[in-house]
């Protein structure tokens, strides 16, 4: 990642990505990890950026103050802009099509109040029924307790999605009136029952500096953060 104080060439983790392995993992599992994409100094610099912006008027605060979201972060620092552009190039190389820019989210999670059910439940979802790629950069080591990204491998496949659609589990007639799709918030009990059919949620545990490309039409969530801090960037495209 480009350092704002000293000019140097941006890191090119792109050239280390094995595109055919990445495509294969995205097809079979729904996500692909690129370890050591950024060094710890770059991660530290972005964490500092997030902390410095926590009181911005436009910051989104969720889960009883435990989560802050800074949208449009690609316009707020050269290093974040560089990550956004690199993510776009990565998706372009993977799919052969240029994605349309949308936004870069910088997010920080701190431990939730474990007594509160409302901040824990209702997190499982699909971003979209149709395939959609996002690029994450984890800025802290993710652990079982830090609130890792979790997804159900294989749930991004068309066979799975169409079965769920046909069973009325993803979209319901009432969605038209409510303006929200059923798949935008899936019941925990249903997620539990999927495990007995071999579709088990898996946390993505990795080191700070790891990049993840993920198809967010898979069932996924950010597990509630119970311990430590969680900082990440998420690049969105259309």
Does 127 bind ligand AKG (CB under 6 A)? Our answer is yes
3-state secondary structure of 189: helix
Of the candidates 104, 48, 49, the one whose C-alpha atom is nearest the C-alpha of residue 75 is 104
Stretch 126-185 residues interacting with Fe ion (CB under 5 A): 127
Stretch that binds Fe ion, among 81-89, 119-127, 171-179, 225-233 (CB under 5 A): 119-127
Of the candidates 33, 42, 122, 114, the one whose C-alpha atom is nearest the C-alpha of residue 77 is 42
Nearer to ligand AKG, 77 or 224 (CB): 224
Of the candidates 125, 135, 145, 154, the one whose C-alpha atom is nearest the C-alpha of residue 29 is 154
Does 216 bind ligand AKG (CB under 6 A)? Our answer is yes
Does 74 bind ligand AKG (CB under 6 A)? Our answer is no
Dist CA 160 CA 162 (whole Å): 6
Which of Fe ion, ligand AKG, none does residue 234 bind to, with CB < 5 to 8 Å depending on kind? ligand AKG
Of the candidates 207, 1, 25, 153, the one whose C-alpha atom is nearest the C-alpha of residue 87 is 1
Stretch that binds Fe ion, among 47-55, 125-133, 139-147, 204-212 (CB under 5 A): 125-133
Q: C-alpha angle with apex 124: 109 to 142, nearest 5 degrees?
A: 40
Query: How near is the Cβ of 28 to ligand AKG at its closest, in Å?
Result: 20
Tokens 């589990």 label which residue? 169
Which of Fe ion, ligand AKG, none does residue 182 bind to, with CB < 5 to 8 Å depending on kind? none
Which of ligand AKG, Fe ion, none does residue 149 bind to, with CB < 5 to 8 Å depending on kind? ligand AKG
How many angstroms separate the Cα of 199 from the Cα of each of 25, 26, 68, 162? 16, 16, 31, 15
Nearer to ligand AKG, 127 or 175 (CB): 127
- Give the interface with ligand AKG as residue ranges (CB under 6 A): 127, 134, 149, 216, 220, 222, 232, 234
Residues that bind Fe ion (CB under 5 A): 127
């Amino acid at each position: 990642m480009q350092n704002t104080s000293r000019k140097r060439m941006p890191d090119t983790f792109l050239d280390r990505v094995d595109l055919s392995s990445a495509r294969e993992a995205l097809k079979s599992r729904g996500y692909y990890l690129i370890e050591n994409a950024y060094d710890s100094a770059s991660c530290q610099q972005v964490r500092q950026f997030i902390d410095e912006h926590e009181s911005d008027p436009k910051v989104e605060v969720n889960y009883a103050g435990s989560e802050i979201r800074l949208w449009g972060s690609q316009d707020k620092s050269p290093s974040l802009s560089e990550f956004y552009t690199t993510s776009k190039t990565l998706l372009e190389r993977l799919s052969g099509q240029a994605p349309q820019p949308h936004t870069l989210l910088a997010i920080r999670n701190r431990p939730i109040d474990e007594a509160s059910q409302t901040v824990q439940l209702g997190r499982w979802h699909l971003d979209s029924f149709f395939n959609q790629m996002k690029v994450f950069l984890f800025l802290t080591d993710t652990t079982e307790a830090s609130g890792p990204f979790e997804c159900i491998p294989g749930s991004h496949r068309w066979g799975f999605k169409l079965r769920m659609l046909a069973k009325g589990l993803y979209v319901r007639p009432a969605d038209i009136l409510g303006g929200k799709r059923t798949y935008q918030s899936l019941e925990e009990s249903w997620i539990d029952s999927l495990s007995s059919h071999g579709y088990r949620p898996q946390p993505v545990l990795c080191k700070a500096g790891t990049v993840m490309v993920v198809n967010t039409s898979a069932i996924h969530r950010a597990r509630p953060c119970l311990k430590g801090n969680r900082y990440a960037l998420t690049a969105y495209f259309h």
